[in-house]
Chains A and B, each alone.
Chain A
Amino acid sequence: DTAVSQTPKYLVTQMGNDKSIKCEQNLGHDTMYWYKQDSKKFLKIMFSYNNKELIINETVPNRFSPKSPDKAHLNLHINSLELGDSAVYFCASSQEPQAGANVLTFGAGSRLTVL
Chain B
Amino acid sequence: EDKVVQSPLSLVVHEGDTVTLNCSYEVTNFRSLLWYKQEKKAPTFLFMLTSSGIEKKSGRLSSILDKKELFSILNITATQTGDSAIYLCAVEAFWAGNTPLVFGKGTRLSVIA
Contacts and interface: CB of A to CB of B under 8 A. Distances in A.
Contacts of B97: 97-98
Contact of A41 (B34, B42, B86, B94): B86
Contacts of A90: 42-43
Contact of A43 (B32, B43, B45, B48): B43
A104 B88 CA distance: 13
Contacts of B45: 103-105
Contacts, number: 58
Classify chain A: how many residues form its interface, as a range: 20 to 34
Contacts of A97: 94, 97-99
A48 interface: yes
Interface of A: 4, 35, 40-45, 48, 50, 55-56, 58, 90, 97-98, 101-109
